[in-house]
């Protein structure tokens, strides 16, 4: 029985080699793996002894030889395959332990092309692909966590005792390892942002208790090669994060990071329900909570400043599931940790990923992150009356928030505080009505932001009746003229940004 061991991730490889030798296996290896095994007294033969060739082309060719690949690819139930092996003096290889270095750890977009190309492995993937193809007779092993159960099966009765289901599982894992590796190389070489084929290497971050609902099994994956936001979170709390927690926390953290002044965002079901800025984080929290206390119940709160003790005491008076902040002082953490079900997340500043991936189940949308592109200088005041200084501040504030509201999205704001948010409605006038209903009397004197244009003037008429004084929207409707006329008639200042921000 012969095994070929050649691994980048060397954890457990010495113990594996020792136990294989104890079970009567002959070990073959190359380079660093052979050196590690010898340093620990594990007998191993160099591949060059079998091939009769030294490493060629500066190490580019080591294992690409029939003595290796015929030994791996031979079908043990085909007598002619075994006869050919014997004819050339080859013996079957029945276990191939190979894993490849994570290309994204060694290579970045800044790595010179010549250096990156030399880091593309050819022999390792070829060994692994051959073993995985012939998994009925050869065990392809890529994951060190599988060593123990493989050894248990081999100790029970040799390679023939390993059940088919496990062999197939190992082959699937090997091909996934290869696909991820190739996708990382393709990502480095790719120059077209949206090619016909876009392999996205996804690496599991963690298993989840469930997905969107308790009956749905789920796990979280990150785009390999790019910093995962969630992997950089430090979570404190006794209850594990769910997918919905992660989704809400990400939405809240992205939005709160868009404000320069102290800001607080409260999110419920991926949508903001209360947002405020203020001179201190304690006041910002009080105003964000006051924006919609009913919806805030059981929500997620994000702070763009460290949480101090007074703010923690105010937080402790209400029921929240999760708090996200850059940091928290010791006394404040002690105050909040008295709530056993509350989770705290300490997060570094949000960094947009290169791609945003959304799926309908059988197709995926891959797009760039939704960041405003058109500068404020390009915006156009389309009414006779221009916003005053206070209205401009609130229009900017509301326009920052509205991309995070489910479409049709409408935000009412006043004095750096949301007073009414309407989203997820099938028509825009109902979204306006919902936002006004939530605002109540606070709508009077507020400004309004809409994520897309108004198809009819009815929304403007409803807003005017509620006392809205200024509106910001993309413009672009065939009835823009009617919409502007309705705003003029009501004395509402209206600004066109020329940029839509749908969030479905």
Q: What is the pLDDT of residues 160-206, one digit of tens each?
A: 888 999 999 999 999 998 998 888 888 888 888 788 888 878 888 88
Query: Which residues have C-beta within 8 Å of that of residue 42, sequence separation ≥ 6?
Result: 14, 17, 18, 21, 27
**DSSP state for residue 307 in the 8-state scheme:** B
At 285 the pLDDT is 96
Q: How far is CA 51 from the centre of its chain?
A: 44
Q: Taking all residues of the chain, what is their mean pLDDT, rounded to a whole number?
A: 89
User: Could you tell me the residue ranges of all domains in the chain?
Assistant: 2-189, 228-346, 376-496
Peptide bond into 408 cis (omega under 30): yes
pLDDT in tens, 10-59: 889 999 999 899 888 899 988 788 888 898 998 988 887 777 777 777 67
Cβ(99)–Cβ(8) under 8 Å?
yes
pLDDT digits (tens, 9 = 90+) for 5-18: 988 888 899 999 99
C-alpha 78: how far from chain center: 46
**Where in the sequence numbering do the catalytic residues fall?**
133, 269
Residue 480: name the closest of 378, 382, 412 by CA: 382
* 53 closest CA partner among 68, 39, 43: 68
pLDDT of residue 225: 65
User: Which pLDDT belongs to residue 206?
Assistant: 82
**Which pLDDT belongs to residue 8?**
85
Res. 325: pLDDT tops 80 = yes
Residue 226 is predicted with a pLDDT of 67
Q: CATH classification of 2-189 is 3.40.50.1380, yes or no?
A: yes
Task: State the pLDDT at residue 324.
Answer: 94
CB-based contacts of 14: which residues, under 8 Å, 6+ apart? 36, 37, 40, 42
Is residue 310 pLDDT above 70, yes or no?
yes
pLDDT in tens, 74-87: 988 888 888 887 88
Q: Do domains 228-346 and 376-496 have the same CATH topology?
A: yes
Q: Please say if the pLDDT value at position 104 is more than 80.
A: no
Q: Which of 103-117, 136-150, 297-311, 364-378 has the lowest mean pLDDT?
A: 103-117
pLDDT for residue 227 is more than 70:
no
The structure's pTM equals 0.79
What is residue 61's predicted lDDT score, i.e. its pLDDT? Answer: 73
* Architecture label for domain 228-346: 3-Layer(aba) Sandwich (3.40)
End-to-end Cα distance, the chain = 57
The token pair at 504 is: 């479905």
Domain 376-496 grouped into CATH 3.80.30.20: no
- Pairing mode, if any, of strands 45-46 and 26-29? parallel
Report whether pLDDT(98) > 70. Answer: yes
Structure confidence at residue 401 (pLDDT) = 95
Give the residue-averaged pLDDT of 401-429: 95
Is residue 375's pLDDT more than 80?
Answer: yes
């Amino acid at each position: 029985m012969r095994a070929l061991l050649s691994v980048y991730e060397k954890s457990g490889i010495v113990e594996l080699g020792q136990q294989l030798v104890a079970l009567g296996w002959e070990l073959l290896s190359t380079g660093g793996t052979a050196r590690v095994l010898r340093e620990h007294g594990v007998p191993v033969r160099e591949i060059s002894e079998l091939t009769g060739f030294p490493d060629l082309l500066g190490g580019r060719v080591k294992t690409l030889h029939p003595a290796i690949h015929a030994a791996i690819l031979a079908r043990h139930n085909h007598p002619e395959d075994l006869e050919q092996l014997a004819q050339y003096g080859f013996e079957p290889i029945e276990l191939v332990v190979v894993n490849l270095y994570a290309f994204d750890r060694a290579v970045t977009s800044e790595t010179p092309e010549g250096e990156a190309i030399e880091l593309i492995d050819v022999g390792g993937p070829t060994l692994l692909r051959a073993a995985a193809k012939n998994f009925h007779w050869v065990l392809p092993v890529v994951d060190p966590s599988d060593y123990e159960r493989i050894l248990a099966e081999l100790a029970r009765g040799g390679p023939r005792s390993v059940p088919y289901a496990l062999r197939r599982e190992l082959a699937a894992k090997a091909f996934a390892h290869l696909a991820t590796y190739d996708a990382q190389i393709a990502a480095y070489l790719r120059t077209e942002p949206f090619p016909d084929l876009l392999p996205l290497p996804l690496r599991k971050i963690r298993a989840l208790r469930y997905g969107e609902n308790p009956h749905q099994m789920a796990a979280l994956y990150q785009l390999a090669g790019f910093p995962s936001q969630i992997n950089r979170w430090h979570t404190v709390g006794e209850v594990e994060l769910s997918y919905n927690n992660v989704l809400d926390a990400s939405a809240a953290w992205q939005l709160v990071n868009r404000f320069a002044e102290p800001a607080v965002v409260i999110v419920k079901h991926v949508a903001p329900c209360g947002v405020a800025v203020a001179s201190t984080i304690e006041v910002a929290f009080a105003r964000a909570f006051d924006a919609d206390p009913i919806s805030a119940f059981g929500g997620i709160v994000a702070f763009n400043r460290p949480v101090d003790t007074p703010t923690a005491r105010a937080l402790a008076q209400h029921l929240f599931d999760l708090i996200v902040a850059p940091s928290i002082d010791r006394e404040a953490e002690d105050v909040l940790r008295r709530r056993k079900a509350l989770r705290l997340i300490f997060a570094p500043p949000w960094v947009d990923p290169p791609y945003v991936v959304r799926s309908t189940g059988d197709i995926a949308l891959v797009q760039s992150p939704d960041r405003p592109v058109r500068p404020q200088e390009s915006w156009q005041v389309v009414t006779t009356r221009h916003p005053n200084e206070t209205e401009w501040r609130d229009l900017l504030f509301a326009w920052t928030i509205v991309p995070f509201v489910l479409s049709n999205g409408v935000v009412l704001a006043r004095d750096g505080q949301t007073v009414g948010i309407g989203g997820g409605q099938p028509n825009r006038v109902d979204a306006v009505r919902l936002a006004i209903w939530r605002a109540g009397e606070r709508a009077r004197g507020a400004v309004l932001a809409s994520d897309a244009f108004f198809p009819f003037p009815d929304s403007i008429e409803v807003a005017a009746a509620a006392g809205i004084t200024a509106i910001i929207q993309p413009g672009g409707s065939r009835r823009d003229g009617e919409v502007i006329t309705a705003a003029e008639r009501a004395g509402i200042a209206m600004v066109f940004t020329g940029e839509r921000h749908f969030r479905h």
